[in-house]
Structure 1
């Protein structure tokens, strides 16, 4: 019979086979021998199990220690311009729950394809400690950049070097250099010029120049202007002998000089001016009353308006009525006045004094009084009107001939009656 080690299919079980082999085959191993060998293999199995546990247990501890170190990163600005310096603040923290000091050997800023910045020998972190490293870089092409802060760290007591990552994204913008000018005069003697930064980089060394008739009249230096900001300066253009003024601004961006220009047309307001209007005159004997309106026909306000009749040959102001203080008159407004004087002439000079745009103005306006009807003293009546009234009287029956005829008829009638009675 064959050895029990072949386990022929005719036997029902290994135990039966072992019993059978023990009685029928002297050359095959006995059941006791197999049990002895199992007992000898047990220590070997336990030893292997211990080695595996230690190995995987150590890996578990290392993994836990690795997770005790965390990394965070932020970028400023998050949307830099091509060529602009971007700052990354990388913070490494050894968590409170860690039981070991962490040695940070290096921090690297990178993408999957490019390395931008690297810092070596960063330092050690006790449990609960943290450190921040500032890293800077620039980008030469626009677009979205997906970066990683790559931190290499290990236990100070020994262990493998571990890598920890933290992602950060920046959106790099195309370079836009654009400065512009605008002006406003508001009808005054001053022109305000505003310089605006419409681009996305700082503009510096800004100088604004005013030119009229191909001659430089004035210039101003202004402070640096950040993107989407503006600054203004004021030029005194009231003395310029032209209404067309050219303004130019030179500025620097990224080491290059640029220029922008603007042409302004001054919208000058007409200086305030007082003119006497709606004048009415009336006479009572040789005394003439003049009243009307002091109208401001200019575009600016006037002040201290004084209207008076000066003493001249044939004209004498009537007491305190020879002058009238109006005061202030706004642009396109008016104020009334009244004057009285003894007049023996056909015209009356009226003096008008006022202040306009800080300048004192004095002028004389003459009023014609020759049309006055000095008999009735009525203002505005003319000789043709009196003549018209005379023509109306002549158009009726003559009064004197009628009266004379009546008297004559009565006389003759009375005389005839007397003679008749006498006879």
Structure 2
């Protein structure tokens, strides 16, 4: 080997030696930066995460004390098993060698279940060399949002329809400040309800309402806003498809005699006696017919029934009686029937017409709210007020030879109402005149179906008179009625002789004369009745 070959071999050996000496330093610079980072711990808040609610992972990051220099903590992220970042925190400042920092990372997991996650921290040193460290994290997520069930029965267009909502808490912690709202459609009387606290595993039923404006297939959305156990606000919605029916407004009003009312028991002026024969008609009580075709009924107390035959609830039902001129019958006034009547329901109120003095038609109008409008339905009633009617019964008539006449008997009230201010006396005529001691007899007030005795005296032209006029005056309702009855004189003329009459009656202002004779006299006697009102 010559000198040139020896020098070349020495150069190669020196190069190899240099390479072997520098090799460890090159490896450290390219693969292991001076910053050595580690994720020493990771905690989860709340301890029982729930789906759809925020979860905070607090990661503890430490820069090794053996690091040559400080490092910037660029990012802390939480990733799922597929590497997808669920949450991250960035721009976290600088870590000195040996320093530890806690970094919160907030994330949301939408579905319940078990998850294998990892917490990854990334740092960079002064030479922009980066290093990462990770720590596995197992996360069990429970169902967090409240369960919502909604039931809508018989939804009707334009009317409030009930929505029954049940909210359940499936978690192991209470939910607070729940607000349950119907957000579609937005109209309704009760579109929002609140629940202060819903305990773990508990359920709460709430009554709401909606007012769909159109018939057909519609969707109703219920929203629940609530506060989780972690103190954050969250929202869950529930959609329900419903069939909305067209609105049917059908309200009926029925008028009938009040239960237990004695209307119709009293005779209508005692029809059927001689008054019928001579043309007297009826009495103070007349049949009245309900507007819905009920049987005829007399009476001052009526049952008025309002029935909802439609398919939506009616509200604020008020009965308004109106007279012939359409104005309110003030003697009765408005009568509250019901706050609300559901479909198929009815309500009955009793109306007292005893203070109504004028006969005629009364419209019983039921006014109510339906689908945002004030509506009404009515029934007509032909009202005939109860009136008193008097009848003279058990008459004893005696005639002296000198023409002195004594008439005694009972005055009975055969009408439906009381009579007052009753006065009986002999009337003045060509052949008769009142006489002492009983020119007239004040009977006073006689209630319905009651009677009172009386006795009057007078004088007649005994040679020519065949009857004596008896005057009966009384007040029935607001009317002063005067009746003059020609009472037949007995055939005998003696100081003790007397003729006995079974019944001689007077009916009310629209009635006639009743006469049942207690002894035999010809009907051709020609009774004369004069009436003054």
Q: TM-score range by the shorter chain?
A: 0.3 to 0.5
Structure 1 length normalisation: TM-score?
0.46
The structure with the greater share of residues assigned to strand is: 2
Q: Which has the larger radius of gyration?
A: 1
| Structure 2 length-normalised TM | 0.39
Greater share of helix residues, 1 or 2?
Answer: 1
Task: Give the structure, 1 or 2, with the largest relative contact order (CA under 8 Å, sep 6 or more).
Answer: 2
